[in-house]
Amino acid sequence: MARIPPVPPGEWPSQMREVIAALRPANPRYEPPPRRADRPAGLNILGTLAQHPALARAYHGFNGHVLFATSLSERQRELVVLRVAALRRAEYEWRQHAVLAGDVGIGEEELLAVAEGPDAAGWEPLEAAMLRAVDELVVGATVSDETWTTLAGSLTTEQLMDLVFTVGAYDLLAMVFGAFEIELDDDLVARVPPSPFAAGS
């Protein structure tokens, strides 16, 4: 059972309109995912955030940039987020972003490779370095000189900054899922396969 119970959608405070709107940056590079009945809605995380709308709005402003205004490509963003989820064994985060990863062409084999890490077969040098940077940031809160040199050879200053901030944003969110013991939504369980690191996988 969740330590902080999610507020049911019908009971959300009025400020939740602003909270959800804060996810949409003023000048987005990318469109939000389509709203369809067959896509997970994330109601348990949103309902948890509804317990503290002011905090949620502040975080969503940051997260909105990471999702929709980042200078990284959508593929790069999702590889980074999924690697954070794998390292933190954040099942909710993984399942949500496995759906978004599918939107940008990341298939099942690459999902398994993300869970395996930067040394998995098939990564080109930049993507391997990005995954390695995630590992180094999550474990040691920095990036090695060798990894940085590879990244800086291909990424702009903005992209380097967005990479580090994306790791931080989703490492924080993984802590939220874990510390509050947020349960998987029924639609995540029914529609999205478990992660490679899930119990029993």
What percentage of the chain exceeds 70 in pLDDT? Answer: 99
Instruction: List Cβ neighbours of 73 (8 Å cut-off, separation of 6 or more).
Output: none
Tokens of 11: 């009971």
- Asked, for residue 49, whether it belongs to a domain, the answer is yes
Count other Cβ atoms within 10 Å, centred on residue 164.
17
Give the CATH number, domain containing residue 110.
Answer: 1.20.1290.10
Residue 31 backbone dihedrals phi, psi, to 5 degrees: -80, 150
Rounded Cα gap, residues 78 and 102, in angstroms? 9
Work out whether the CA dihedral 83, 87, 88, 92 comes out positive or negative.
Answer: positive
46, 2 Cβ separation under 8 angstroms: no
Residue 80 has pLDDT above 90, yes or no: yes
109, 117 Cβ separation under 8 angstroms: no
Least confident range from 45-54, 151-160, 186-195: namely 186-195
The tens digit of pLDDT for each residue in 123-178 reads: 999 999 999 999 999 999 999 999 999 999 999 999 999 999 999 999 999 999 99
Rounded Cα gap, residues 172 and 88, in angstroms? 10
Range of the domain at 185: 9-191
Q: What is the pLDDT of residue 199?
A: 67
Rounded Cα gap, residues 15 and 137, in angstroms? 34
pLDDT, mean of residues 88-110: 96
- Asked, for residue 138, whether it belongs to a domain, the answer is yes
- Asked, for residue 37, whether it belongs to a domain, the answer is yes
- Asked, for residue 197, whether it belongs to a domain, the answer is no
- Asked, for residue 1, whether it belongs to a domain, the answer is no
- Asked, for residue 160, whether it belongs to a domain, the answer is yes
- Asked, for residue 199, whether it belongs to a domain, the answer is no
Alpha-carbon Rg of the chain, whole angstroms? 17
Residues composing the chain? 201
Looking at the 3D structure of the chain, how many domains does it have? 1
Report CA-CA distances (Å) from 64 to 146, 165, 193. 30, 12, 26
- Asked, for residue 196, whether it belongs to a domain, the answer is no
